[in-house]
Amino acid sequence: MPLLAIETSCDDTCAAVLDGSRILSNVISSQADHERYGGVVPEVASRHHLELAVPVVEAALADAGVGFDDLDSVAVTAGPGLIGALLVGLSTAKAIAAPRRLPLVPTDHLHGHVAANFLDPDPLEPPFLCLIASGGHTMLAGVRDHHGFEVLGETLDDAAGEAIDKAARLLGLGFPGGPELERLAADGDPQAFTFPVAMSRDPGLDFSFSGLKTALVYISRELGEEETARRAADLAAGYQAAVVDQLVTKLRRALEAGEWPAVALGGGVAANGPLRRAVAGLCEQKGIPFKEVNRELCTDNAAMIGSAARFSQPLAYPDYLSFDAFSTGPRGNR
């Protein structure tokens, strides 16, 4: 029986229909309005979700060829994310589930990024090590079962995606910056400028990206506006390489104990080609499989929320009517 999943934690309005681990539909409507502000404006995001939630859910049902009355349960991102944005998704999910007396499954967004790896084709079975790198989080997750994960290390300041978006903005690229920075970097020389790879000598598994952003600010100040624009591809290539280097260095360190039999990625930065190639190379060296989740399942989407919901606690009607969203998740393990 199909499950409807809704995700509205940031600026993408998403709905998907799943039958077990099979995706029947996966609709994503990205809000273009934020580009002119160079970042997501929370209140603008909430208002757009209000306008888009119903058409996006209807499109997901139509694509899957199912009606509201065919649904078995409704899953929704409960957090972490922008509180106003989350509340629109949660209210929509309650409004669909309650009149039909369907169970509601509140789902953790980061569990969703991990659970994208449980979807067809080739679902990955735990245990595995998952590097989550997104707009708001960067962490190494030890996944021992389908139900959650253990945080082995995480960023002490900025997330990798946030650092990438800030660099892209400084180089005059659009928002979100990841795909554009990757395109620009493809024409640049990653060795032309020296960027610091933070935490590389730190024996732990935590990350730090704020110094990298500061290094770019200083380099571009020294170059001046014109020269920064002329050397933008080299700057993008060097910056991207430093982000990838730190992520892969920590991943390698986490694999050293030899405990993890497979590696997976999650979060928007996992769509990055050079990161995927570097992780594939590391896994080849180590002789362990690397699960390459589809790029569309890395950035925010509702299929991953439906996948996590299969392994989350459903709430029965009417218990969920007073259930609230949360903007920041519990620190640490899920």
Residues in contact with ligand ATP by the rule CB under 6 A: 9-10, 81, 109, 113, 134-137, 161, 164-165, 176-179, 182, 267-269, 271-272, 299-300
CB of 153 to ligand ATP, least distance (A): 16
Between 220 and 272, whose beta carbon lies closer to ligand ATP? 272
Element containing residue 13 per DSSP (H, E): strand 12-19
Question: Closer CB to ligand ATP, residue 79 or residue 314?
Answer: 79
Q: Which does 182 bind (CB under 5 to 8 A by kind): Mg ion, ligand ATP, none?
A: ligand ATP
**Cβ at position 1, least distance to ligand ATP in Å:** 28
Q: How far is the CB of 187 from ligand ATP (least distance, A)?
A: 15
* 177 binding partner (options ligand ATP, Mg ion, none; Cβ < 5 to 8 Å by kind): ligand ATP
Considering the complex, state which of residue 2 and residue 165 has its C-beta at the smaller distance from ligand ATP.
Answer: 165
Name the residue nearer to ligand ATP (CB basis): 23 or 181: 181
For ligand ATP, which is the closer residue by CB, 126 or 135? 135
Interaction partner, residue 106 (ligand ATP, Mg ion, none; CB < 5-8 Å by kind): none
What one-character DSSP code corresponds to residue 261?
A: S
Q: How far is the CB of 268 from ligand ATP (least distance, A)?
A: 2
Q: Spell out the residues 6+ positions from residue 61 whose beta carbon is closer than 8 angstroms to its own.
A: 4, 15, 17, 25, 67, 68
Identify what 272 binds: ligand ATP, Mg ion, none; CB under 5 to 8 Å per kind: ligand ATP
Report residue 273 as tokens.
């080609």
C-alpha count within 13 angstroms, C-beta hemisphere, residue 301:
28
Contacted by 190, from Mg ion, ligand ATP, none: CB < 5 to 8 Å by type: none
The entry of Mg ion, ligand ATP, none near residue 219 (CB within 5 to 8 angstroms by kind) is none
63 in Cβ contact with 17 (< 8 Å): yes
292: left (phi over 0), alpha (psi -120 to 50) or beta: beta
* Least distance from ligand ATP to the Cβ atom of residue 137, Å: 4
- Residue number with CB closer to Mg ion (86 or 215): 86
Distance of CA 56 to the CA centre of its chain: 20
* Helix ranges restricted to H, the chain: 42-64, 83-97, 109-115, 160-170, 177-185, 210-223, 225-230, 232-255, 273-286, 303-309
Q: Residues 93, 23: contact at Cβ < 8 Å?
A: no
Residue closer to Mg ion by CB (options 71, 78) is 78
Among candidate residues 96, 211, 196, the one with its CA nearest the CA of residue 156: 211
> Taking the complex as a whole, how short is the minimal distance between the CB of residue 92 and Mg ion, in angstroms?
18
Helix (H, G, I), strand (E, B) or coil at 280: helix
Distance (Å, rounded) from C-alpha 42 to C-alpha 167? 21
Residue 151: its H or E element = strand 148-154
The token duo for 254 is: 């986490």
Nearest distance from residue 270's CB to ligand ATP, in Å?
Answer: 8
List residues binding Mg ion (CB under 5 A): 134, 300
User: How much of the chain is in helix, strand and coil states, percent to nearest 5?
Assistant: 45, 20, 35
Q: Which is nearer to ligand ATP, 234 or 300 (CB)?
A: 300
Amino acid at the residue 296: E
Chosen from ligand ATP, Mg ion, none, partner binding at 148 (C-beta under 5 to 8 Å by type):
none
Minimum distance from residue 20 beta carbon to ligand ATP (Å): 24
